[in-house]
Amino acid sequence: MLYDTHAHVNENAFDEDRADVLARIHANGVSLYNEVGTDLADSRRAVALAQRHDWIYAAAGIHPHEAKHAPADYLTQLEELLAQPRCVALGEIGLDYHYDFSPRDVQRRIFDEQLTLALAVHKPVIIHDREAHQDTMTAIAAHRGALRGVMHCYSGSLEDAKRYLNLGFYISFAGPLTFKNASKLREVAAYVPMDRVLCETDSPYLAPVPVRGTRNDPQNVSHVVRMLAEIKGVSFEQAAQATMENGKNLFLQED
Ligand code: NI
């Protein structure tokens, strides 16, 4: 029983066999997963997918890559999507200074506006932070612990992880936790309390060892959970159960 809290099965990589993939992963232990939107159209598709499958939930948001394309009324459109019962989070949102596909000032404005919306609609946030650790922390800390959410595919330092934990955030690990050179990330995972850790795939990207380099799908969350179990010195079943409970607590609780 696994909960992949972050995947993009609506991406083109799955156009040829999406229905087969969904049937297979659900039959093979993925009992819940979150389809995460990256712009308005993708968020709408995520909600529609979740409405067709009772084990899939959706998140709606504008990814930093897409920030410059957000229409003037994007907040109203997002709010409508977030009012759907199957839409459980605002995401993925954040800052990406690695690719800089949108100007940084635009990224920051769209990020801040969405954080404010999350508070207004009482939904958790799914945060993307790539090489923008300082500004991401500043934006989240500005809300003084009022936000709930997760640092998705965590790539920051142990010190930052401690700050996010103090702000009430969950820390989520993806395929990179299994990579050979990821000793720093494994130190972070060793530190994060068992009741504040999530696992995800970020499919179709970042396939974990031993399937690294292939198209990722939510079933591979098992490899991330297995690595987490090893780091924590617990059984696979214990790690699976803890991350399942944590995912339910963050995303599926009525507030
Ligand atoms: Ni993602």
Each residue's pLDDT tens digit, 12-47: 999 999 999 999 999 999 999 999 999 999 999 999
Distance 114 CA to ligand 1 centre (A): 16
Ligand 1 centre to CA of 96 (Å) is 12
Q: What is the DSSP string of 183-214?
A: HHHHHHHHHS-TTSEEE---BTS-PPTTSTTS
Instruction: Tell me, in angstroms, the distance from the centre of ligand 1 to residue 40's CA.
Output: 15
Ligand 1 mean position, distance from CA 61 (Å): 11
Specify the pLDDT at position 10. Answer: 98
CA of 208 to the centre of ligand 1 (A): 15
- Determine the Cα–Cα distance for residues 80 and 134; give it in Å rounded to an integer: 31
pLDDT digits over 197-248, tens only?
A: 999 999 999 999 999 999 999 999 999 999 999 999 999 999 999 999 999 9
Query: Which is nearest to 41 in space by CA: 17, 5, 12, 6?
Result: 12
Q: Which residues pair with 170 in a beta bridge?
A: 150
Residue 145 Cα to ligand 1 middle (Å):
24
Q: What is the pLDDT of residues 94-143, one digit of tens each?
A: 999 999 999 999 999 999 999 999 999 999 999 999 999 999 999 999 99
Would you place residue 253 in the very low, low, confident or very high pLDDT band (cuts 50, 70, 90)?
A: confident
Provide, rounded to the nearest whole percent, the portion of the chain with pLDDT above 90: 98
pLDDT category of residue 255 using cuts at 50, 70 and 90: low
For 49, half-sphere exposure in the C-beta direction (CA atoms, 13 angstrom radius) is 26
Residue 213's Cβ-count burial label (10 Å; 0-12, 13-18, 19+) is exposed
Q: Is the peptide bond before 92 cis (omega within 30 degrees of 0)?
A: yes
Spacing, Cα 194 to ligand 1 middle (Å)? 23
Beta carbons of 122 and 98 less than 8 angstroms apart: no
Which pLDDT does position 129 carry in this prediction? 96
Distance (angstroms) between ligand 1 centre and the Cα of 5 equals 10
Quick one: tokens of 171? 């820390």
| Interstrand relation of 170-173 and 87-96 (parallel, antiparallel or unpaired) | unpaired
What's the gap in Å between 36 CA and the centre of ligand 1?
Answer: 7
Where does the pLDDT of residue 145 fall: very low under 50, low under 70, confident under 90, or very high at 90 and above?
Answer: confident
**pLDDT confidence of residue 132:** 97
Rounded distance from Cα 73 to ligand 1 centre (Å)? 23
**Alpha carbon of 230 to ligand 1 centroid (Å):** 25
12 DSSP 8-state letter: G
Say how many Å lie between the CA of residue 45 and the centre of ligand 1: 15
**Does 144 have pLDDT greater than 90?**
no
Q: How far is the CA of 79 from the centre of ligand 1 (A)?
A: 20
- The rounded Å distance from CA 66 to ligand 1 centre is 13
Indicate if the pLDDT at residue 150 is higher than 60: yes
Per-residue pLDDT at 157: 96
Residue bearing tokens 């990722």? 216
Each residue of 151-163: pLDDT tens digit?
A: 999 999 999 999 9
Q: Name the residue with higher pLDDT: 59 or 253.
A: 59
Calculate mean pLDDT across residues 82-91. Answer: 97
User: Rounded to the nearest whole angstrom, what is the distance from the C-alpha of residue 175 to the centroid of ligand 1?
Assistant: 12
**In the prediction, which pLDDT does 181 show?**
95
What mean pLDDT is reported for the chain?
Answer: 97
